[in-house]
Structure 1
């Protein structure tokens, strides 16, 4: 009897062990199932979250492409990307840009923000006219309202006036037949090794009594040092950088606007740029012309309003010709009533010629005969000729020849002027971050 009881008890133990093992296996199986489902759910969330992120990123990239390529865009828009969407908000103020893009994939949200700005290069024009070794020639009744610095001789004629200070550099520096007018209490001075046949309201600074002839001055300062030559303010390196900015927009052949309105830039033009009479061109980026640039009479060229307070540039490897009645405006824009520009806000347009055409007034690198208040003319190696109708803000060249009655009025803000590639190019990413 005892033997049978023990055997029965052992059967119960085996049964309980079996139940325990099965329960453990079931628990493990349930845990594996729960873990697998959790992993699948996590994986699904990760996938959806990634889809939301990439949708947000696609919204950013699509917006940047449109803005950088001057393609139309809406400040608030939605982009579909696969099974996700991106809600995009674009804030563009002058030369700064903020884009926020919220990606949504089945309720999973990721949000990105990008900030960008238009790069600019500063150039300083401290004088109404700055001249290289070719020197400055002024004909009767021509006026410069601002200081003048020349590395070569300065030669005037009847009633030519400079309202400010005049410098002719080096031991070869000569000032001849000039009227130097005092604007403030300290200016109206002439500085040169030799001063001839001139009328100077303030001080005459010269080498010695043998180098001043036929000249009257408020004060005489013999024994003064010769002014040192000054480099022209824009290097060839900077000009080449602007050319690179233009290339960003592509390359075309010779371009001619024959009446009507058009926009152009950034662009490289392999050939000539011609703006014919009764045309209006809006510059939207840096322009590089490998040939010549001609602005015929009764034309308008202006910077796009998105330049803001920045300035723009057209680089020309050949010669530049500006006929009469050409209106050139900065980003303030053109006002048809009165055929003029709106009030200038510190934005200017600069024409740069790389031509070395010097120094025959009949074939200058730049020939301007326009009445405009928003243009700067510049050449490192050629001659600039200003016709009788010319009214300009600043002129810098290797040599300058000014016809009778021309007028240059210096703008004080040109001492620190920012040139940008414009709304169509030159953008730089400042930050790119996830914010949600």
Structure 2
């Protein structure tokens, strides 16, 4: 019997493979999903992070834009919008008080927001370290007039009938008022920029004097870019057509006395060395190096016959021609000076308070007496110290002009202003082409720098005060005419401690400022004229070419005056106090 072989068809052939493939597919999808999800998440996070960073830098851009406009005195509103790459930053400027601003900038990129805060405050550009600082005209005191504080005079101090200074009195030798050499033809057609790089760190101008005498003071026509530091002014000999590497006399160019506009700045020199006629000398301004903070010296081309300008580095032999070559800087050289005298004074109290001058006569000194000659004093001269060196005035012509410019930036009014009776007025910044009268309990509130081209007369309990918005800051009134107060008329600050009013006149009159009673918390300044105090008159600080005090007039210095912040002009330049991100 034939055996038949039966074959059974396996209908499940390949199922295992299919299951394996499906299983592998699911595993692969799971792995891919596990890999893709974090990647997508990281990609999203990267986009968020990028948008956040863009938002931050956009906010920074808004802050920097506002800061630049404020520093450059450009127009800017309380709220500004800056758009970059279709995204925006909103910047808000808030006046905390007259000496503090806050800049808040909010950057927004795809609804991701970052915020920065920047705080600005006014820098202190004017320091009053003496109860009185007086120029060549000197100080005259009589009839129990008293200064409670220290006095520095570039001239004589003369007293009679119980005149008294409770602190130290210094009478420096008087500086010359006659210019021996000068270059100031027209307005500057060229500039000498220095302090930018090492090769242009310092600027120099050679000169030859017409007479032989001591050099006491120089003036330069200068402005600044940014906020350079103080510079050293030097007089040197000539060395092969370049400045010598050692100084004959030096002085300090105070950066706070220089503004961003041209102006004359005076620098007193010491020691007072003798310059010989027919000999070449160099005036050198030795500055620090900063590409963004430097000085610009006004110049013209070959207008000064007795010298030329150079650029280089003091203390080395590396000096180069200006560009273009042959430029002459604007400068003045003052020669000559006279020894000063203190006479007829009571100086100091309780063993404290020194007197220092070339000559001191007929005076009572509580502390040390430094002089070269003297007679009729309560003690002998201590000749161990030389004659005092004259001081620069704390306020320069350039600063005064800057304050005037700020007043003009407000508005100009032509015609006199008269406030009387119960009348009140708030003004500033403003220029008044005319006179200002406040009388009979009238009240004038200053909300910004005020410039009066005429005279200012205050009488009969008139009040002139700063707006409360000044806070601890100080403000000013400038007059081109004379200023007088009488019958309890007074000045005052904002009401906050450390706030003062400054009353400054550019008058050259012998009656530039007349104070017939206590003037209140005021700083009186008459750099070219005379301030007179009488009848128990007083103030917190006085600076003038000449000061007369009589009939129990009293001035009391306050330590806060050593660092005054004015809310406009060069001493009110803004400095960054804080800068960072906020919530």
Specify if TM > 0.5: yes
Of 164, 171, 180, the residue aligned with 1:161 is 164
State the SS of the aligned residue for 1:241. helix
Instruction: Give, in whole Å, the separation in 2 of the partners of 1:268 and 1:306.
Output: 20
> Comparing both structures, which one devotes a greater share of its residues to helix?
1
- Name the structure 2 match of 1:27: none
Give how far 1:131 is off: 0.8
Once the two structures are superposed, what CA deviation does each residue of 1:192-233 show, in whole Å capped at 9, x if it has no partner? 11111111122221113xx32x1113x641364111111211
**Mapping for residues 143-154 of structure 1, pairs under 5 Å:** 143-154=146-157
Instruction: Give, in whole Å, the separation in 2 of the partners of 1:433 and 1:410.
Output: 39
Q: Is the 8 A contact 2:130 2:149 kept in 1?
A: yes
- Name the structure 2 match of 1:206: 371
Give how far 1:172 is off: 2.1
State the SS of the aligned residue for 1:371. coil
- Name the structure 2 match of 1:295: 458
Of 349, 354, 359, the residue aligned with 2:501 is 349
- Name the structure 1 match of 2:553: 406
Of 218, 223, 227, the residue aligned with 2:388 is 227
State the SS of the aligned residue for 2:402. helix
Does residue 280 (structure 1) correspond to residue 280 (structure 2)? The answer is no
Of 88, 97, 100, the residue aligned with 2:101 is 97
State the SS of the aligned residue for 2:128. coil
Query: In the superposition, relative to structure 1, how do residues 109 and 304 fare at CA in structure 2: closer, same or farther (>3 Å)?
Result: farther
Once the two structures are superposed, what CA deviation does each residue of 1:316-352 show, in whole Å capped at 9, x if it has no partner? 11111112212321111xxxxxxxxxxx611111111
Give how far 1:97 is off: 3.4
Give how far 1:182 is off: 2.5
Once the two structures are superposed, what CA deviation does each residue of 1:160-215 show, in whole Å capped at 9, x if it has no partner? 111011111125211111011225x6x3211111111111122221113xx32x11
Instruction: Give, in whole Å, the separation in 2 of the partners of 1:121 and 1:191.
Output: 29
Instruction: Give, in whole Å, the separation in 1 of the partners of 2:153 and 2:92.
Output: 52
Runs of 4+ residues over 6 Å off in structure 1? 86-90, 101-104, 107-114, 425-436
Instruction: Give, in whole Å, the separation in 2 of the partners of 1:114 and 1:189.
Output: 49
- Name the structure 2 match of 1:177: 344
**Mapping for residues 293-372 of structure 1, pairs under 5 Å:** 293-332=456-495, 345-358=497-510, 364-372=511-519
Give how far 1:120 is off: 4.8
Query: RMSD in angstroms over aligned alpha carbons?
Result: 4.0
- Name the structure 2 match of 1:269: 432
Instruction: Give, in whole Å, the separation in 2 of the partners of 1:409 and 1:432.
Output: 39
Q: Is the 8 A contact 2:117 2:582 kept in 1?
A: no
Q: Give the TM-score normalised by structure 2.
A: 0.52
How many residues align structurally?
348
Once the two structures are superposed, what CA deviation does each residue of 1:350-409 show, in whole Å capped at 9, x if it has no partner? 111100113xxxxx1011123244101011110000122312111110000011100011
Q: Give the TM-score normalised by structure 1.
A: 0.69
Instruction: Give, in whole Å, the separation in 2 of the partners of 1:391 and 1:120.
Output: 28
Once the two structures are superposed, what CA deviation does each residue of 1:226-248 show, in whole Å capped at 9, x if it has no partner? 11111211100011111111111
State the SS of the aligned residue for 1:216. coil
- Name the structure 1 match of 2:221: none
Q: Which runs of 5+ in 2 are unaligned?
A: 1-57, 80-88, 174-337
Does residue 376 (structure 1) correspond to residue 523 (structure 2)? The answer is yes
Of 216, 228, 234, the residue aligned with 2:378 is 216
Instruction: Give, in whole Å, the separation in 2 of the partners of 1:97 and 1:248.
Output: 19
Instruction: Give, in whole Å, the separation in 2 of the partners of 1:387 and 1:223.
Output: 37
Q: Is the 8 A contact 2:100 2:122 kept in 1?
A: no
Q: Is the 8 A contact 1:102 1:109 kept in 2?
A: no
State the SS of the aligned residue for 2:434. strand
Give how far 1:99 is off: 6.0
Q: Is the 8 A contact 1:110 1:434 kept in 2?
A: no
- Name the structure 1 match of 2:13: none
Of 192, 195, 201, the residue aligned with 2:360 is 195
Q: Is the 8 A contact 2:128 2:563 kept in 1?
A: yes
- Name the structure 1 match of 2:418: 256
